[in-house]
Amino acid sequence: MASNKIITVFGATGAQGGAVADVFLHDPKLKSDWTVRAVTRNTSSESAKKLQSQGAEVVAADMNDKATLLKAIEGASAVYAVTNYWEKADHELEIRQGKALVDAAKEAGVHHFIWSSLVNVTKLTKGKLPHVYHFDSKAAVEEYARSVGIPATFFMPGFYMSNIPGGSLRPDPSNGDAWTFSLPVPASARIPLFDPADTGKYVKAAVLHRDEVLGKRILGATAYVTGAEIVEGFKKVFPEAGERASYRQLPEAEYKGALLAKGMPNLIAQELLENMLLLDQFGYYGGASLDETHALVEDELTTWEEHVRKSTKWPAELR
């Protein structure tokens, strides 16, 4: 049996990190070679205890305390690093946290640093969409990781499927409560759908193909799917509810106004609007193909229809 290597997984009780920990704990190709060091703020939480019961080493670390990051990373061969912009909605804080993770990985001599990244939207759009901070901050950390020369791969999660049920796809009171998928982009906009539960499948591919993916990006999406196709998938799974389902392109002002009406700060409402506009105007990944990533991933990725079937976010009458 190969010598046991450690993968330090940040955000191990969250959606992305949890999926990574799960794969390394249970996958036949990984579990005998790797030990999972699961990093969380609260080691006594139920999810942390569950990870421990499954064989993970659970440790506490503070994203704002580099000494604790270094302790969590020391001795690890690989690191999966993710930050949560939405916790504080502070892109400068996210950049500081990300750079601290990179510095700790460099200091510890990590063999493979995998950063949950996104494209720099301001650069991609030449300043046309300058407020998508949660993309730009992660891109700034990627740029920093490249500049300091650590062996790194950049995982780029797509559009979360889990944000659609009951979120942008829900009954519309202005249309007799018919199920309506509403976004401020045309029905033909190509959306790279990503199930967060698949994160570990991409990270597995990254570690199994380490030399091949160093310095490269892994695009976390099952497929590019249009708004119209998302509605069709919903109809297939729920034919009765989907009988009158449709796609509606929202005027930009209406989309932003609805967010403001919910009490969202103007800056965040603008950020989310520009995030949506990116889909059609420039492409979520700037038009990049998913083929190279799919050639590396050996596990079946979750389709939109599969996600529709398993989602617990639908109202009880659909489930």
Token couple for 176: 């007799």
User: Nearest Cα to 172, choosing from 270, 245, 100?
Assistant: 245
* Domain boundaries defined on the chain: 5-157+196-220+289-297
Q: Reduced to 3 states, what is the DSSP secondary structure of residue 222?
A: coil
pTM: predicted TM-score of the whole model, two decimal places: 0.96
Other residues' Cβ atoms within 10 Å of the Cβ of residue 53: 9
* All residues at 6 or more sequence positions from 273 whose CB lies less than 8 Å from its CB, including other chains: 184, 252, 255, 256, 259
CB–CB of 131/271 below 8 Å? yes
Token couple for 318: 């659909």
User: Nearest Cα to 270, choosing from 158, 133, 171?
Assistant: 133
Q: Where are the beta strands (DSSP E) in the chain?
A: 5-9, 34-40, 57-60, 78-81, 112-116, 152-157, 159-160, 169-172, 178-183, 190-194, 217-220, 223-226, 246-249
* All residues at 6 or more sequence positions from 30 whose CB lies less than 8 Å from its CB, including other chains: 23, 24, 204, 207
User: What is 5-157+196-220+289-297's CATH topology?
Assistant: Rossmann fold (3.40.50)
- Output the tens digit of pLDDT for each of the chain's 319 residues: 345 899 999 999 999 999 999 999 999 999 999 999 999 988 999 999 999 999 999 999 999 999 999 999 999 999 999 999 999 999 999 999 999 999 999 999 999 999 999 999 999 999 999 999 999 999 999 999 999 999 999 999 999 999 999 999 999 998 899 999 999 999 999 999 999 999 999 999 999 999 999 999 999 999 999 999 999 999 999 999 999 999 999 999 999 999 999 999 999 999 999 999 999 999 999 999 999 999 999 999 999 999 999 999 999 888 7
CA 171/CA 193 separation, integer angstroms:
21
